[in-house]
Each structure stands twice: as C-alpha cells, then as structure tokens.
C-alpha cells in the first residue's frame, strides 16, 4: 500500500513556484499505485496556484486562504502544513527545498514528529519509508539516508528533479481555516522585497544555468561579457570572490564557501582559476564548462568541458553562437 503524500506548494506572485511543480511530480511518483497526493497552500489568493497543481495531476488541494501567511516566516506555514498532513492522513510530505521550504522543513519535522531530509536529489519509497540521496560537504560527497519511522518529510533540491509533464485533472479545493497557531510565529514580518533588479534574469540560487566570471576579466567594465553571455542563455550571473572583493559585482553574486552554493544544470566558469573555496560552491552542478587561458588551471580538473583560450575572444564568439542557435 502506498501512503498519502502531502505536497506543500509555494506560490510566488500568485503562481506555483517551478520547484513546487518538481515536488508535485515527485509526490505523484511516490504515491504511484494506490496512494493519493494532496496539495497544500497557505496565503491569500492561492487560486491560480491551486489550478496549477491540478494541471500537473494534483487535483485535491487543501487551501488555507489567510493573508497573514504572506508576510510571515515559513514557521507559520509549517504549523498549518502539519495540521493538513494530519487531517488528510499523510505519511510523507514533499516540498521544494527553496529558502522558504528549507526554513519550513525543520519546523514541520519537529511539530509533526517526522524524520526529515533536506537538499534531496533522489528519493524512493517502500513499505518501510523513504530513502534519500543528498549531496553533502558542498557536493564533494553524497550520502544515502533512510528515514526511519512512520512519518517522513523531504525538501527537494531545486532542479534535481524533472519538471513533470502536464496531466490535467479536475480541481477540488478544500478550503479550511488556519489551525490554532501561536501568535509568536506571526511576529517576524517581511516588510519589503528588494528584488535583485528588474529584468536581471533568474536568481542565482534557482537558476538552471549560471555563468560566473573571475579575475581573468581584468576590469569591472569587462564583466559585461559575462552579463551578455548569461542573457543569451537566460542564465543567472555569478562571480568568484576575487570579483566581489574588488567590488566589480555585489557580494550577493559570490559563489563558493563564503558565498552561495549553487547546483544548476549547467555552470560556466570564465576566467576563474578554481580555488577550492570556489569549487565547494559549484562542484555539484550537473555539467561544468570552464574557459581559461591557462590550460593547467585547477578548474579544468572539475569541469566536464573545457576551452583553453583567451576569454576576450572565446566569450563573444560563444554569445554570438548561442544567440544564433536560439534565434535571438
């Protein structure tokens, strides 16, 4: 018997986050057989997100239509999700390991008394529970964990799972009130969002492609070569610490041990030597490309494909080729 699986959705701007669709697809796979998948959403105006759940095969969606959740920390949603999991008799909860999902998971696991794993890149279920694989040590190792006990909750690493195909089903919304949540959990409030700059493409953490530039670019004005290549690919821009320390680009774009860890489908490192502190932030990317004039640069040891050459020649040619192939 496969159990009921609750998939906690995250809606941004009224739409279901892409990573939540990956979670929905994974939940459906885990419930395959005689299990049921139930979607869950909390916040105001989640109708469109619920409809999207149904477009991807999750027709039964439990909704707490309550604007208090919109600017509250994930902790509040975790309480509501735990109540929903109990109400529908779920044994497994699946969610997207975004910043919101990661904050939610520890709270949910404690409140709902479940085993938990975050940053999951593979998950399988059987009669005894869930088994997951997840990168650790900045992607330098992978661990397999068994979630023991009768309840388990997992946060999936964004992009590690395929986006599901559309399988429209009828939408049945179960609107419920918020459970009794301690007022303290609504204490912290988001007061404003400073977006990374309109039109600047996907955020670093959840981009499918990241193009990063390093000291090899020599001067801040040359960094536009990275911006242009990224724009042609619809990619996010990253940087080595040499670049952020020099103030060419903000610290928020730094990839590595003291910056962000990213694991896109494709990581292109341009003029980056490949210091270990940079590598720990990107080695778990699926495919790595390095462009560097020094054929013995350590970055080529971790890259899948390399071009030894002058970035000032290679990058413009690559941008032109990408634009040509993509017809832009």
Q: 46 near 69, Cβ under 8 Å?
A: no
Write down the least CB distance from residue 172 to other proteins, Å. Answer: 30
Q: Using the rule CB under 6 A, which residue among 119, 259, 300, 319 binds ligand FAD?
A: 259
Q: Name the token pair of 192.
A: 């404003």
Q: Using the rule CB under 6 A, which residue among 98, 240, 285, 319 binds ligand FAD?
A: 240
Burial class (CB in 10 A: 0-12, 13-18, 19+), 203: middle
Residues 46-75 interacting with other proteins (rule: CB under 8 A): 73-75
Q: Alpha-carbon distance 75 to 66, whole Å?
A: 15
Binding-site string for ligand FAD from residue 202 to residue 231, where x marks contact by CB under 6 A and - marks none:
------------xxx---------------
Q: What are phi and psi of 228, to 5 degrees?
A: -70, -40
* Residue located via tokens 């690559």: 318
Q: Using the rule CB under 8 A, which residue among 86, 128, 294, 321 binds other proteins?
A: 321
Q: Kindly state whether residue 134 participates in binding ligand FAD, applying the rule CB under 6 A.
A: no
Q: Alpha-carbon distance 278 to 297, whole Å?
A: 13
Q: Kindly state whether residue 78 participates in binding other proteins, applying the rule CB under 8 A.
A: yes
Write down the least CB distance from residue 66 to ligand FAD, Å. Answer: 39
Q: Kindly state whether residue 104 participates in binding other proteins, applying the rule CB under 8 A.
A: yes
86, interface contact from other proteins, ligand FAD, none, CB < 5-8 Å by kind: none
Nearer to other proteins, 58 or 154 (CB): 154
Residues 266-295 interacting with ligand FAD (rule: CB under 6 A): 271-273, 275, 277-278, 281, 292-294
Q: Kindly state whether residue 195 participates in binding other proteins, applying the rule CB under 8 A.
A: yes
20, interface contact from ligand FAD, other proteins, none, CB < 5-8 Å by kind: none
Q: 237 near 212, Cβ under 8 Å?
A: yes
Q: Kindly state whether residue 170 participates in binding other proteins, applying the rule CB under 8 A.
A: no
Q: Kindly state whether residue 26 participates in binding ligand FAD, applying the rule CB under 6 A.
A: no
Q: What is the dihedral of CA 202, 203, 206, 207, to 10 degrees?
A: 40
Q: Using the rule CB under 8 A, which residue among 55, 60, 62, 107 binds other proteins?
A: 107
Q: 214 near 311, Cβ under 8 Å?
A: no
Q: 124 near 91, Cβ under 8 Å?
A: no
Q: Name the token pair of 224.
A: 């536009």
Q: Alpha-carbon distance 328 to 315, whole Å?
A: 17
Q: Alpha-carbon distance 238 to 259, whole Å?
A: 10
- Chain residues that interact with ligand FAD, rule: CB under 6 A: 214-216, 240-243, 254-259, 271-273, 275, 277-278, 281, 292-294, 297, 310-312
């Amino acid at each position: 018997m496969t159990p009921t699986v609750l998939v906690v959705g995250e809606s941004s701007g009224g739409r279901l986050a892409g990573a939540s669709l990956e979670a929905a697809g994974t939940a459906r796979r885990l419930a395959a057989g005689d299990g049921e998948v139930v979607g869950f959403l909390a916040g105001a105006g989640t109708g469109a997100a619920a409809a999207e759940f149904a477009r991807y095969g999750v027709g039964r969606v439990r909704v707490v239509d309550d604007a208090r959740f919109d600017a509250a920390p994930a902790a509040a949603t975790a309480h509501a999700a735990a109540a929903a999991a109990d109400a529908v008799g779920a044994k497994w909860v699946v969610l997207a390991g975004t910043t919101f999902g990661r904050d939610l998971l520890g709270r949910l696991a404690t409140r709902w008394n479940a085993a938990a794993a975050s940053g999951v890149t593979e998950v399988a279920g059987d009669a005894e529970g869930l088994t997951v694989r997840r990168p650790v040590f900045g992607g330098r190792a992978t661990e397999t964990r068994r979630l023991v006990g009768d309840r388990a909750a997992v946060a999936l690493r964004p992009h590690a799972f395929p986006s599901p195909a559309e399988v429209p089903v009828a939408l049945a919304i179960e609107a419920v009130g918020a459970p009794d949540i301690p007022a303290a959990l609504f204490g912290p409030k988001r007061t404003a969002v400073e977006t990374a700059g309109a039109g600047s493409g996907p955020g670093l953490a959840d981009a499918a492609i990241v193009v990063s530039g390093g000291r090899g670019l020599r001067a801040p004005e040359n960094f536009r070569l990275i911006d242009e290549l990224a724009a042609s690919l619809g990619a996010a821009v990253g940087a080595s610490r040499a670049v952020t320390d020099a103030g060419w680009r903000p610290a928020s774009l730094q990839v590595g041990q003291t910056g962000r860890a990213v694991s896109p489908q494709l990581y292109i490192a341009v003029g980056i030597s490949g210091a270990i502190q940079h590598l720990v932030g990107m080695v778990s990317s699926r495919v790595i490309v390095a462009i560097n004039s020094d054929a013995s640069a350590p970055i080529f040891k971790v890259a899948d494909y390399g071009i030894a050459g002058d970035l000032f020649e290679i990058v413009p040619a690559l941008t032109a080729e990408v634009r040509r192939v993509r017809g832009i």
